[in-house]
Amino acid sequence: MKKWLAMLSLVLVFSACKSRKSASAANSNTDTLKITDNSKTEDRGKGIYDRLGFYEKIYIHPKFDHIKISSKIKADNLRVSPLDATIYIETDKKIWSNISFLFFNAARALITPEGIKAIDRYNKNYIDSDFDYLNNLLNTNFIDYKSLEKLLLGRTFLTISNRNSDITKNDDGYTVQSIANQKIETDGKIREYKLELKYSNDFNLIKVKLQDVKSADAVEIVYDNWETIENNVKVPKSVKINIKGSKSSQILLENTKFDFSKMDTPYSVPSSYQKLEIK
């Protein structure tokens, strides 16, 4: 049970930071975000003078109501690989996924802003939890729904500002590094992280690294093979996740098809299934 649900959760979660960005509707067809240019703040960009333009490129994207992703999943802790996955995202509302192997529906999940539900058809178990389940699984404290949604689509899910980051440019693209540790408090507990993000010259997110400053725990996410699909939406065809430290895992998500068709997202738990208690 734990392997299937952990696999499903890791595929849908990876890792993310709560983004406390405020919204302003600049364009009804693009992601909305209020971007503040602190012109009085010391420019730490080392040559990146148009920070507002940079922020707009990495934060504001064409909007859509829903997207369906067909994927192949490989992981170092699975006996069977690759797995076939269908991931369906309804923007701001839900992430639904079905994972199968050799035509057997092995697991299914439904994630909403309220929490996580997942069933393991092989072992006839299920979970119904808030986001503490995923945070405990990855030994983090900062996973929420919106950051997960952005992360699956290769969107920037961290808050970058003039005060907390350096931005540098070279021939390969842009690098953003935190000046001060990012502090994230959950239930009175504070963890601090060093952040590094890399972007291509056309502002596609290439790599995200979060390093816990007080332990060896780290998460690195690498995006590759970006593709422009309908309505000028950019998506990554390859997502690689490395989790290091007290809990280690490596996952490769190969996205083979994207489309904007609406689909049903059935989720139900048979009465004979046993609930897995989250501790």
Give residue-wise pLDDT tens across range 66-76: 999 999 988 87
pLDDT band for position 33 (50/70/90)? very low
Q: How far is CA 96 from CA 63, 84, 140, 152, 164, in A?
A: 19, 14, 22, 12, 34
Angle at 240 between CA 181 and CA 171, to 5 degrees: 70
Rounded to an integer, what distance in angstroms lies between the CA atom of residue 108 and that of residue 7? 11
Q: Which of 138, 86, 109 is nearest to 4 (CA)?
A: 109
| Segment holding 244, helix H or strand E | strand 234-244
Q: Is the distance from CB of 168 to CB of 174 less than 8 angstroms?
A: yes
For the segment 174-183, what is each residue's pLDDT rounded down to a tens digit?
A: 999 988 887 7
Rounded to an integer, what distance in angstroms lies between the CA atom of residue 46 and that of residue 167? 7
Rounded to an integer, what distance in angstroms lies between the CA atom of residue 172 and that of residue 56? 20
- For the chain, the straight-line distance linking the first and the last C-alpha, in angstroms and rounded, comes to 15
The beta strands (E) that lie in 46-148 are given as: 66-75, 83-90, 94-101, 104-112, 115-120, 125-129
Mean pLDDT, range 58-80, rounded to an integer: 88
pLDDT at 214 over 70: yes
Compare 103 and 18 and report the one with higher pLDDT: 103
Confidence at residue 186, expressed as pLDDT on a 0 to 100 scale:
65
Percentages (nearest 5) of helix, strand, coil residues in the chain: 15, 45, 45
Rounded to an integer, what distance in angstroms lies between the CA atom of residue 111 and that of residue 95? 5
| Segment holding 51, helix H or strand E | helix 51-59
DSSP structure class, residue 62: B
Rounded to an integer, what distance in angstroms lies between the CA atom of residue 251 and that of residue 230? 27
Q: Is the distance from CB of 69 to CB of 12 less than 8 angstroms?
A: no
Domains, the chain? 2-18+41-258 (2.50.20.10)
